């Protein structure tokens, strides 16, 4: 029962922390870390012992699957060059540069272990950056950070596993490691794509036979990342890349027809799951902080001098990581820009000013994946032989996560000061065009639709009724076309009318809801009727969107 109570307490705290983040001017991850540390205070004394392998299995597959699912694929392909240089090239650059620096700074940390630490510090967290920037980052930079975070989760953690294997076995060959890395990476991607495709075909087969219960399909989606991870690991491939590939593939498979209710439920469940898992990881970091500090200082005679020196080590490593990232962004991207210009393929959206370079540098926040990876370091490398400096590695990783969050919280608003938060114009234009084309298609389909009873004089009343309904629906679609008219005056007038109509509809829906509550209080309807009608009213209000 104690485990169940602990889980309930943590989940409750995840929800409460979201409310506190609206009041406290701090990013949500920092609020959750502070809440976890407060919960672990000796007065409250909540302690959670983490099994590294279980922690890695429970948290990483669904988070990586969700990242792959949500990544805009077209933007990923558009910025594939810059994303791959940051997600692969920058990871290797960071592992080599920071690895040698860590070994020089801390001679007690063997070089393979230093490389492992540098590798696990490479993955970035775009979700934390988005929470800090509050959607004020320019669209190209946000897309680059999202794509980098998706890919360097995989590249960083795969490199981390290789470095760990070298640290444990003491054997490392660059040629063998490169070949093995390629096989493991390709195998993981293949397993994820094939398994996700098979699940999609199975779901399509179920739907054609009328087995379209949304809850059943959502359960399959919840199990898919774990299945992809486990299957790839059993086959000797990368479970991390398999989970990412399964998520990216599933975003296409999810567009199967006759799945509207399933998609609505699926997105809601995954949004909840992603929020809960990210929150739990940061809460667990806060809960582990007292133990991490105690573990790294328990061999020392004096607490505070040792702790201060360890914090200075963390600061030095963080500064090196920032410098390496800035150097890579400026130098490599300048080279890429010159190559693109030479080839006549210049893209103004990728021109990096000093501010853009700093935004990309500071935006490299470390988060959930780094913590999950470092906590997966084994306790022992052999029977009776402790993993070298494991407590120190966890302390450094936790310190870098905290520093990156604090620095981003301070620097991103300063760098964004004076910039106008503009919407993504390309996205806005494409949304308008999509609405116009879909509305025109709907009107054309209605015009070509045969009216029931129109050819039968004996059922003229039904024909008149069908004609009236058809005209009403076509009027709504023509109104949508007016909203997306190309002239600014027509758009402004249509927008005002649309907002006024939305307000009236929302007021009418809320009046319906109040009357429904009144009928329920007076026992004129039962709970089942209340739930049924209330769900329809809520969905209708949600479809109206935000009224400005």
DSSP state string for 482-507: HHT-SSHHHHHHHHHHHHHHHHHHHH
Band of residue 449 on the pLDDT scale cut at 50, 70, 90: low
First to last CA, the chain: 48
Q: What is the pLDDT of residue 259?
A: 60
State the pLDDT at residue 48: 73
Q: What is the DSSP letter of 47?
A: -
Share of the chain above pLDDT 70, in %: 80
**Per-residue pLDDT at 22:** 81
pLDDT tens for 252-304 read: 766 554 566 677 777 788 888 888 888 888 888 788 788 788 777 777 667 67
Q: Is residue 259 part of a domain?
A: no
316 with 178, same domain? Answer: yes
The yes-or-no verdict on residue 331 having pLDDT over 80 is yes
pLDDT at 228: 93
In-domain check, residue 254: no
- The number of domains in the chain is 2
In the chain, % of residues over pLDDT 90: 11
Where among 401, 422, 443 does a domain terminate? 422
Task: Please list, in sequence order, all residues whose beta carbon lies within 8 angstroms of the beta carbon of residue 287, skipping any fewer than 6 positions away.
Answer: 36, 37, 39, 40, 46, 47, 48
pLDDT at position 545 over 70: no
What's the whole-number mean pLDDT along residues 327-355?
71
Same domain, 93 and 165: yes
Residues 368 and 459 in one domain: no
Specify the pLDDT at position 25.
Answer: 77
Query: Is the confidence at residue 427, as pLDDT, over 70?
Result: no
Q: Which pLDDT belongs to residue 435?
A: 64
Does 129 lie in the same domain as 93? Answer: yes
The reported pLDDT for the residue numbered 314 is: 93
Claim to verify: residue 193 and residue 340 sit in the same structural domain: yes
Q: Is 531 found in the same domain as 404? A: no
Q: Which element (helix H / strand E) includes 194?
A: helix 174-208
What pLDDT shows up at residue 459? 66
**Locate tokens 């981003």: which residue?**
408
Single pTM value for the model = 0.74
Residue 122 burial class via C-beta count within 10 angstroms: exposed 0-12, middle 13-18, buried 19 and up: buried
Domain membership flag for residue 256: no
The answer on pLDDT for 317 being more than 90 is yes
Cβ neighbors of 311 (< 8 A, separation 6 or more) are 399
Q: Is residue 183 part of a domain?
A: yes
In a shared domain, residues 409 and 538: no
Question: Among the ranges 174-183, 240-249, 421-430, which has the highest mean pLDDT value?
Answer: 240-249
Position 432 scores a pLDDT of 67
Q: Is residue 170 part of a domain?
A: yes
Verify that 506 and 384 share a domain, yes or no.
no
Instruction: Report the C-alpha dihedral over residues 223, 228, 234, 240, rounded to 10 degrees.
Output: -120
pLDDT at residue 434 tops 70: no
Average pLDDT for 202-212: 80
Find the Cα–Cα–Cα–Cα dihedral 110, 113, 119, 121, rounded to 10°: -90
Return d(Cα 247, Cα 71) in angstroms, integer. 9
For residue 322, the model assigns a pLDDT of 94
Residue 177 in domain:
yes
- Give yes or no for residue 109 having a pLDDT over 80: yes
Max mean pLDDT range (237-246, 365-374, 409-418): 237-246
Dump pLDDT digits (tens) for 145-161: 888 887 787 778 778 88
Q: What is the CATH number of the domain that holds 77?
A: 1.20.1530.20
pLDDT digits (tens, 9 = 90+) for 452-484: 554 554 467 777 777 777 777 777 777 767 666
Domain shared by 354 and 205, yes or no:
yes
The set of residues, in sequence order, having a beta carbon less than 8 Å from that of 541 and lying 6+ positions away, is 506, 509, 510
The Cα–Cα gap between 315 and 310 comes to: 9
Point out which residues pair with 495 in neighbouring strands: none
Q: What is the mean pLDDT of residues 114-143?
A: 79
Same domain, 52 and 177: yes
Q: Which of 123, 115, 85 is nearest to 98 (CA)?
A: 115
Give the contacts of 72 (CB within 8 A, at least 6 positions apart). Answer: 143, 146
Q: For residues 139 and 116, which has the higher predicted lDDT (pLDDT)?
A: 116
Residue 468: give the domain boundaries: 427-544
Residues 226 and 100 occupy one common structural domain: yes
Q: Looking at 396, 422, 448, which one is the last position of a domain?
A: 422
- Domain contains 255: no
**Residues 285 and 367 reside in one and the same domain:** yes
Question: Six-digit token pair at 43?
Answer: 């007065």
pLDDT confidence bin for 321, thresholds 50/70/90: very high
210-242 pLDDT, tens per residue?
777 788 888 888 899 999 999 998 888 888 889
Average pLDDT value over all residues in the chain: 78
Pairing assessment for the beta strands 380-382 and 385-386 based on DSSP bridges: antiparallel
Give the per-residue pLDDT at 191: 93
Q: With beta carbons less than 8 A apart as the criterion, state whether 142 and 427 touch.
A: no
- Nearest 5°: phi and psi at 522? -90, 10
36 is a domain residue: yes
The greatest distance separating any two alpha carbons of the chain, rounded to the nearest whole angstrom, comes to: 101
Grade residue 42 by pLDDT with cuts at 50, 70 and 90.
low
Query: Structure tokens of 286?
Result: 């806060």
Domain boundary among the residues 385, 406, 422 is at 422
Most confident of 25-39, 193-207, 294-308, 428-442: 193-207
């Amino acid at each position: 029962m104690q485990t169940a109570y602990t889980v309930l307490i943590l989940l409750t705290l995840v929800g409460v922390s979201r409310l506190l983040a609206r009041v406290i001017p701090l990013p949500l991850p920092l609020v959750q870390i502070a809440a976890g540390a407060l919960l672990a205070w000796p007065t409250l004394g909540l302690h959670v012992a983490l099994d590294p392998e279980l922690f890695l299995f429970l948290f990483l597959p669904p988070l990586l699957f969700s990242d792959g699912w949500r990544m805009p694929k077209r933007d990923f392909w558009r910025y594939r060059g810059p994303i791959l240089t940051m997600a692969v090239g920058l990871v290797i650059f960071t592992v080599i540069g920071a690895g040698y620096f860590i070994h020089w700074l801390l001679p007690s940390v063997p070089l393979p272990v230093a490389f492992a630490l540098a590798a696990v510090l490479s993955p970035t967290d775009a979700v934390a950056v988005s929470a800090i920037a509050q959607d004020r980052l320019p669209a190209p930079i946000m897309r680059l950070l999202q794509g980098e975070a998706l890919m360097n989760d995989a590249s960083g953690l795969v490199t981390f596993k290789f470095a760990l294997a070298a640290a444990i076995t003491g054997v490392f060959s660059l040629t063998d490691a490169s070949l093995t890395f390629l096989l493991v990476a390709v195998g993981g991607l293949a397993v994820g794509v094939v398994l996700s495709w098979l699940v999609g075909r199975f779901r399509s087969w179920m739907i054609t036979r009328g087995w379209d219960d949304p809850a059943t399909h959502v359960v399959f989606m919840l199990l898919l990342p774990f299945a992809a991870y486990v299957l790839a690991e059993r086959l000797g491939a990368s479970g991390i890349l398999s989970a990412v590939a399964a998520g990216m593939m599933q975003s296409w498979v999810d567009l199967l027809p006759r799945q509207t209710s399933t998609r609505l439920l699926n997105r809601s469940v995954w949004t909840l799951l992603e929020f809960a898992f990210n929150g739990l990881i940061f809460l667990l970091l806060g809960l582990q902080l007292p133990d991490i500090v105690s573990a790294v200082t328990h061999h020392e005679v004096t607490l505070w001098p040792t702790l201060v020196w360890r914090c200075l080590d963390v600061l030095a490593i963080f500064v090196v990581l920032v410098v390496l990232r800035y150097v890579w962004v400026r130098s490599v991207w300048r080279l890429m820009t010159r190559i693109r210009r030479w080839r006549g393929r210049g893209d103004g959206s990728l021109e990096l000013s000093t501010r853009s370079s700093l935004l990309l540098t500071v935006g490299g926040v470390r988060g959930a994946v780094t913590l999950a990876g470092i906590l997966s370091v084994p306790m022992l490398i052999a029977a009776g032989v402790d993993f070298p400096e494991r407590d120190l590695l966890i302390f450094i990783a936790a310190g870098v996560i905290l520093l990156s969050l604090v620095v981003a919280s301070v620097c991103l608003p300063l760098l964004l000061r004076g910039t106008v938060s503009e919407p993504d114009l390309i996205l806005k234009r494409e949304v308008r065009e999509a609405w116009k084309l879909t509305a025109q298609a709907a009107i054309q389909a209605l015009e070509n639709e045969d009216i029931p009873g129109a050819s039968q004089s004996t059922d003229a009343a039904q024909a008149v009724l069908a004609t009236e309904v058809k005209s009403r629906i076509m009027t709504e679609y023509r109104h949508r076309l007016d909203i997306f008219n190309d002239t600014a005056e027509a758009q402004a007038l249509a927008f005002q009318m649309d907002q006024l109509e939305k307000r009236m509809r929302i007021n009418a829906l809320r009046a319906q809801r109040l009357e429904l509550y009144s009928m329920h209080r007076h026992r004129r309807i039962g709970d089942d009727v209340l739930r049924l009608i209330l769900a329809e009213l809520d969905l209708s209000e949600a479809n109206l969107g935000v009224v400005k």
